[in-house]
Structure 1
């Protein structure tokens, strides 16, 4: 059976259009839902608004607490990215270019963390955060995010670091360079695509994290952006158009980051696909 030719190209195009539809339809429906009244949202969920209600977006973006939560999310995401890179990059370099006893066992133990969903650890994680007196603080979110993101970050960086020619590393060792100097001056500059990819993925995951801040934080002034959804819910009613408006505004930064950094992400993820 042949997978080349105009027919195969058309089939691939149809599959891609179908996948894009599954992704884009909920996003477009969410954005349009914020432009409808509650009654129209119930009767005309997926269609275009009969009357475009821009006041929903104006009301959301003019609330001072929204911008405070935006600052909290940026603070949490930036520190999460910096700490993740600071820990994952040296660890990945060690696994890629250093040989030591128990190397493979330690690496396998680290990667084992990828098999456990975050939600399964929420109770013991809450108890540990409480014991460390980090409840209702941003550090109670940042540190667990770094810990749970290390396995994937180290795996991606290790594969990319191994792509750096060993001849360069060996030549630097012969010239008397330390492993720290090799890491900073040779490996890291040659691996900027994967570093950028890990930073972007970590930022977006932190930005979209809802469960951990919900469990850790109690004070509204410490809430990150995703928890702002609760301000449109009360005991007896839910303002769904405002919620859809808020969700649309929430996901726009993540979509924008992915679109702007798409080629860096692709370059980073494929950097370790083949060993030179």
Structure 2
């Protein structure tokens, strides 16, 4: 008489045996109150944007009768009139020039200065880093009056260059503070190996430092471009000719000219903010990853 013994323990699945890894524990969902608060915050954030965009598809009578309703019928003429306007595209090009030039200069100068602060040891290094950090505590509103006097003496008012240079100066502290941890995290052994192979300091900077610090460079570039695109106070003080207006100033001028046409103003406003909104949303992961790398460094 033969007896058979059955193993009461369950056999591991093939996928588990093949990987050799224990199953991942799923995190608990948490309290429903947390999700409710998150939904409320998201709604409060997106509601103004949705109201502006949808308001551009309505007419003034719809906005007066039912301000919070949906377009019925949809009016595409507001957007088409703005898109066919030469004023809008002139201001759009001015914003692209200011934002692009500011971003290029801030990233180029910022990564160069951060490289010196992070990789070199010299007297006054800590003081230099402290000065850049102190620059974060002085918003542009504090220096707008003396800045206008300086730009007037340099004959840079009513020019896009008079907007670009101050934005570069006020954008450098944030860029350097973010990039210094990235450059400090690069091992010294890599620099020593590059030096043994005959790589110069500039060669090490362009071949090794820039590729390794690319997440931080992209992060600072995105933040700089969005801040420059949305800048209003500095162009308001520097620019007085309508031919050099950027989109934030163009919204004010358009609102003053068409104060009674609220739907057209909403259409102009939504078209002005969409490029920065799309740009920021498309690179959101790179921004978060770059900031996390700066904290870890």
The alignment's TM-score, normalised by the length of structure 1, stands at 0.91
Q: Does structure 1 residue 211 correspond to structure 2 residue 233?
A: yes
Cα distance in 2 for residues equivalent to 1:11 and 1:100: 53
Cα shift at 1:164: 1.8
Cα shift at 1:175: 4.5
2:143 to 113, 121, 128: 121
**Maintained 8 Å contact 2:114/2:180:** yes
1:147 to 158, 161, 169: 169
Structure 2 counterpart SS, 1:272 = helix
Residue of structure 2 equivalent to 1:79 = 101
**Maintained 8 Å contact 2:111/2:176:** yes
1:16 to 9, 30, 38: 38
Cα shift at 1:174: 4.6
Q: Does structure 1 residue 46 correspond to structure 2 residue 68?
A: yes
Alpha carbons of 1:125 and 1:238: their partners in 2 closer, same or farther (altered >3 Å)? farther
Cα distance in 1 for residues equivalent to 2:28 and 2:258: 59
How many residues are treated as equivalent by the alignment? 271
**Maintained 8 Å contact 1:30/1:248:** yes
Task: State how 1:173-188 maps to structure 2 within 5 Å.
Answer: 173-188=195-210
Task: State how 1:1-276 maps to structure 2 within 5 Å.
Answer: 5-8=28-31, 10-234=32-256, 237-275=259-297
Cα shift at 1:173: 3.8
Cα distance in 1 for residues equivalent to 2:35 and 2:189: 42
Cα distance in 2 for residues equivalent to 1:211 and 1:159: 31
Cα distance in 1 for residues equivalent to 2:261 and 2:184: 51
Kindly provide the CA deviation profile for residues 128-173 of structure 1, in whole angstroms up to 9, marking residues without a partner as x.
1111110100100000000000000111111221222232123334
Structure 1 counterpart SS, 2:88 = helix
Cα distance in 2 for residues equivalent to 1:253 and 1:269: 22
**Maintained 8 Å contact 1:232/1:238:** no
The alignment's TM-score, normalised by the length of structure 2, stands at 0.85
Alpha carbons of 1:226 and 1:234: their partners in 2 closer, same or farther (altered >3 Å)? closer
Q: Which stretches in structure 2 are left out of the alignment for 5+ residues? A: 1-26
Cα distance in 2 for residues equivalent to 1:16 and 1:164: 37
Cα distance in 1 for residues equivalent to 2:209 and 2:135: 26
**Aligned alpha-carbon RMSD (Å):** 1.9
Alpha carbons of 1:39 and 1:188: their partners in 2 closer, same or farther (altered >3 Å)? same
**Maintained 8 Å contact 1:29/1:45:** no
